[in-house]
Amino acid sequence: MRFEEELVALLPRLRRFARGLARHPSDADDLCQAAIERALKSRDQWQEGTRLDSWMYRITRNIWIDERRAAGRRGVHSAIDDAATQVVGDGAAEVEAGALRGDVDGAMARLPDDQREVVMLVLVEGYAYREAADILDVPIGTVTSRLARGRETLMHYLGEAA
Amino acid sequence: MSVDRDIVAAFVDGELDDLTARRIEREAVRDPALAAEIARHRALKAQLTAHYAPVVEEAVPERLRALLVGADNADGVDTSLADRRAAKRARFEPMHWGALAASLVLGLTIGLRPWLPAADVASDKGVLVASGSLADALDTRLASNQPADAAVRIGLSFRDGEGRYCRSFESATVDGIGCREGGRWQLERTQRGRAPTDYRQAGSGELAAMVATMMAGDPLDADAERVARDAGWRAR
């Protein structure tokens, strides 16, 4: 299959991944667009016979992380992400968790970036730990520990999932 | 609990070798705490999967497809006019036939309706379906929680006699009822939407009457609507 055709076939899944990272549909599609443009520009770097999906996910994720870091440097800061780091059960957090029951977007937004991307790759996109580690270019132990923390936070906010 | 939490996670994620996985399954029978933990992990995974599943079913926005369909020129090499014409044709064709089919369907079933916006209604294999912002609104918006100035307003969500989820909607150009089937919203009924100057009591009443004839049981309440949305409007 041609490179472009394979990419087109991949788009629905890629949009899902981007939606999990960027949350807002239009931001997610902007992210996909940037990823496609970069992929077309650097298509020579993709080795035929290797998985195009992993390569695309890596590009998408790298653009997203770069943007988040740049936004952080500019002082555009999400208060939500700060709140995420302290999930322990004081009264306010319990109330907040109650309000979020069933709100997957809200709960995901409260995960730090590095946990959110692992949750998306493994729990939603269905990648094996090894594959997720390759996409993110981190050791497999980092994947499992981020995943464990991400899960704990999500279970806290979403409660006993329906 | 007899098993470490990370092992439970790895079990649910399918990361354990067969031998260990079978050992966990056996122990879960004896150990209710372990069984509960496995169920908790599975439930989270199911909830996340259901929440994001509808994205895969959405129509990919044209601006993304257009980057790849007919993108042979992307490397900047000047190609022949014939190539470019072919690329242009490739881009134009699906849209063209879609529009043609849509107008045929419209013409045959409900008469000529030039006010129907091409962007929000499409034809898929001869069936009129929601697309664009209308499909987005039907996919994601909750009747219980929508901005007052929304371009598309969701009326009622309900199940019809066939068990499908259906939702009535109103917009400036078209009102109607969409029912979820095959991963898209088939437009079962459409009528002219509210023009700003329109006196629209009659229109609203007609739509409500259509809903009443289609609905099996009660309309979904806010909770049921949210659950249905999060599960991707799949009929059970």
The mean-pLDDT minimum among A38-52, A59-73, B69-83, B218-232 falls in B69-83
Taking 60 as the threshold, does the pLDDT of residue B178 lie above it?
yes
Eight-class DSSP state of A45: G
- Work out the number of other CB atoms within 10 angstroms of the CB of residue A40: 16
The mean-pLDDT minimum among B7-16, B43-52, B215-224 falls in B215-224
**B56–A16 CB contact, under 8 Å:** yes
Taking 50 as the threshold, does the pLDDT of residue B108 lie above it?
no
Distance CA B131, CA A91 (A): 44
- 0.95 exceeded by the pTM? no
pLDDT value of position B191: 75
Query: CB of A116 within 8 Å of any CB in chain B?
Result: no
pLDDT value of position A1: 57
- Mean pLDDT, rounded, of chain B: 76
Q: What is the ipTM of this complex?
A: 0.85
- Work out the number of other CB atoms within 10 angstroms of the CB of residue A73: 8
Distance CA B100, CA B108 (A): 12
pLDDT value of position B129: 86
pLDDT value of position A100: 61
- Between residues B6 and B120, the one the model is more confident about: B6
Taking 80 as the threshold, does the pLDDT of residue B89 lie above it?
no
CA distance B118 to chain A (A): 21
Query: CB of A34 within 8 Å of any CB in chain B?
Result: no
pLDDT value of position A94: 55
Contacts 24+ apart (CB under 8 A), B2-6: B2/B27, B2/B30, B2/B31, B2/B33, B2/B34, B3/B27, B3/B31, B3/B34, B3/B37, B5/A148, B5/B37, B6/A144, B6/A148
Q: Where are the domains of chain A?
A: 1-77, 78-162
pLDDT value of position B153: 84
Spans in chain A with pLDDT lower than 50:
79-89, 161-162
Q: Which CATH number fits domain A78-162: 1.10.10.10, 3.40.50.360, 2.130.10.10, 3.30.230.10?
A: 1.10.10.10
pLDDT value of position B205: 67
pLDDT value of position A81: 45
| Percent of residues, chain B, with pLDDT higher than 70 | 73
Taking 50 as the threshold, does the pLDDT of residue B107 lie above it?
no
CA distance A75 to chain B (A): 29
Q: Where are the domains of chain B?
A: 5-57, 62-230
Query: CB of A46 within 8 Å of any CB in chain B?
Result: no
Query: CB of A99 within 8 Å of any CB in chain B?
Result: no
Distance CA B157, CA B177 (A): 9
- Between residues B85 and B188, the one the model is more confident about: B188
- Between residues A9 and B117, the one the model is more confident about: A9
Q: Topology of domain A1-77, per CATH?
A: Rna Polymerase Sigma Factor; Chain: A (1.10.1740)
pLDDT value of position B125: 73
Alpha-helical (H) ranges within A23-74 are 25-41, 52-73
Q: Are B70 and B88 in contact (CB under 8 A)?
A: yes
pLDDT value of position A144: 96
Distance CA A80, CA B201 (A): 44
Give B-chain residues touching A20 at CB under 8 angstroms.
52
pLDDT digits 0-9 by tens, B26-61: 999 999 999 999 999 999 999 999 999 999 988 899
Query: CB of A29 within 8 Å of any CB in chain B?
Result: yes
Taking 50 as the threshold, does the pLDDT of residue B103 lie above it?
no
Interface size, chain A vs chain B, as Cβ–Cβ contacts under 8 Å: 103
Taking 80 as the threshold, does the pLDDT of residue B111 lie above it?
no
Taking 60 as the threshold, does the pLDDT of residue B173 lie above it?
yes
pLDDT value of position B209: 77
Q: Residue B134: which pLDDT band, with cuts at 50, 70 and 90?
A: confident
Question: What is the token pair recorded at B48?
Answer: 């996340």
pLDDT value of position A65: 93
Q: Which residue has the tokens 């029912």?
A: B179
Which of A20, A122, A128 lies closest to B52 in CB terms? A20
User: Which residue out of B37, B42, B47 would a mutagenesis test of the A interface target, given it has the greatest number of A Cβ atoms within 10 Å?
Assistant: B47
**A123–B44 CB contact, under 8 Å:** yes
Which of A105, A144, A154 lies closest to B44 in CB terms? A154
